[in-house]
Amino acid sequence: MGDWFANLFGGAPEAAPESDPPVAAPASAASEPVAAPEPVAAAAPEPTPQEAALLNVTAEQIEGFQPPDVVTTLHAAIETMPDINTQLIEICCKRLRVLCREPENCKKCDEAGTAAAVVAAMAAVPSLASVQLQALAALVNLCSGEANEHRKNAVDSNAMKAIVAAMDVLPKNAEVQEMACIALQNCCYGEDPHAITRRQAAGDEGAIEAVVAAMKEFVNSTPMQEVGAATLRLIVHRVPELRTKALAAGAKDEWVKPISQGGGIISFRKFGFSTTRRKKPAE
C-alpha cells in the first residue's frame, strides 16, 4: 500500500419618476431584438464573526482543538462556497483522523458529529485526493473501535455513499481505493444487530461494484487484491443476496468465500482496522 499520509467571501436600480410618461423606442430600434439581461449571481452571505474567526485559524491552532471545535471549524470551511477553503478542510479532517486514534477522543468525535462533517467535506471537494484520503482515514479510525454505535452513526450520516463516491471519482488513485476499502470494512464490521443493515447499505450504494472495479484496475497490486477481497468478504458476510450480487458484478468465488473465525483474513480482526495498524504487504 502507498503512503497513507502528507478569501472569503450591489442594489436595485432607481425607479423612474412617476411624472415621466413612458417613451417609445426609436423606429430604427423597434425592430431590433432586445437582449435579455445577464443573470446576476446572488451575493454570498457574509460570514458571522464566529465563522470569520474560525476561518482564520492556523494549522498549529487546529492541532490543539478538541473534537467539537474541529467539527465546527470544518463546517465553517465547507460553507464558504464558492471560495471554499480546501486547505482548512484537509487540516480539519486530518485532526479528526488523529483524534479518533484514541478511544476516549474517538467517542467525543462521534458525539460531536464527526461522521456527518467528514461526509460533507468529501462531497464539497470530491476530486481532491488529499482531502478524500484524510476524510476516509478519519472514517476508518472513527469506526475502528469496539463501539458499533460509531459505525451505525457513520452509516446513518451517508458514509457509505461518500466512500463509494470517492472510489468512483478517483478510480486511478490506488491510495484512495485502498483507504476506501478499509473504510468500508470498518463500517461493515461487527456482529451486532445493525451490522446486516450496514452491509445492505453498502450494497445499495454500489460498494460491491466499486471494490470489484478497484481490484480489476489494480490487478497486479497484491495489497489491493488482499484488501479488496477482505472488503468483499465483510460486505457479503451473512447476507447471501449480496454474495450473489458480488458474483454477478464479476467477483471471483474466492473473493467472497464465507468468513471463518480462524480464516486469518485481515478483516476478521478483533476491533476494526485503524490507520495506525496497517497490514504488512506480502513479500
Q: What is the pLDDT of residues 218-274, one digit of tens each?
A: 999 999 999 999 999 999 999 999 999 999 999 999 999 998 754 433 434 444 556
Give residues with Cβ within 8 angstroms of 108, minimum separation 6.
66, 67, 68, 99
- What span, in angstroms and rounded, lies between the C-alpha atoms of 110 and 40? 41
pLDDT in tens, 11-32: 333 333 344 433 333 344 444 4
Q: What share of the chain has pLDDT > 70, as a percent? A: 74
Q: Using 50, 70 and 90 to split pLDDT, how confident is the model at 111?
A: very high
Q: What is the pLDDT of residue 243?
A: 98
Query: 35: pLDDT confidence band, cut at 50, 70 and 90?
Result: low
Q: Which amino acid is at 22?
A: P
pLDDT at residue 71 tops 70: yes
Q: What is the pLDDT of residue 59?
A: 92
165 vs 174: CA distance, rounded Å? 15
Least confident span in 30-34, 42-46, 145-149, 233-237: 30-34
Residue 6 has pLDDT above 70, yes or no: no
pLDDT at 8: 25
Q: What angle separates helix 114-124 from helix 86-99, to the nearest 10 degrees? A: 150
Q: What pLDDT does residue 84 have?
A: 85
**Domain definitions of the chain by residue range:** 48-142, 176-274
pLDDT tier, 146 (very low <50, low <70, confident <90, very high otherwise) = confident
pLDDT interval class at 47 (50, 70, 90): low
For residue 155, the model assigns a pLDDT of 98
> Comparing 184 with 32, which gets the higher pLDDT?
184
Question: Between the CA atoms of 232, 233, 237 and 242, what dihedral angle is there, to the nearest 10 degrees?
Answer: 40
Q: What percent of the chain has pLDDT over 90?
A: 67
Burial of 169 (0-12, 13-18, 19+ CB in 10 A): middle
Please give, one letter per residue, the 3-state secondary structure of the chain: CCCCCCCCCCCCCCCCCCCCCCCCCCHHHHCCCCCCCCCCCCCCCCCCHHHHHHHCCCHHHHCCCCHHHHHHHHHHHHCCCCCCCHHHHHHHHHHHHHHCCCHHHHHHHHHCCHHHHHHHHHHHCCCCHHHHHHHHHHHHHHCCCCCHHHHHHHHHCCHHHHHHHHHHHCCCCHHHHHHHHHHHHHHHCCCCCCHHHHHHHHHHCCHHHHHHHHHHHCCCCHHHHHHHHHHHHHHHCCCHHHHHHHHHCCCCHHHHCCCCCCCCCCCCCCCCCCCCCCCCCCC
54 compared with 120, residue with greater pLDDT: 120
Residue 140 carries which side chain, given as an amino acid letter?
Answer: V
45 pLDDT band, cuts 50/70/90, is: low
The upper half-sphere exposure of residue 138, i.e. CA atoms within 13 Å in the direction of its Cβ, equals 36
Range of lowest pLDDT (137-146, 150-159, 274-283): 274-283
pLDDT of residue 21: 38
CA distances from 155 to 29, 59, 150, 160, 228 (A): 62, 29, 9, 6, 20
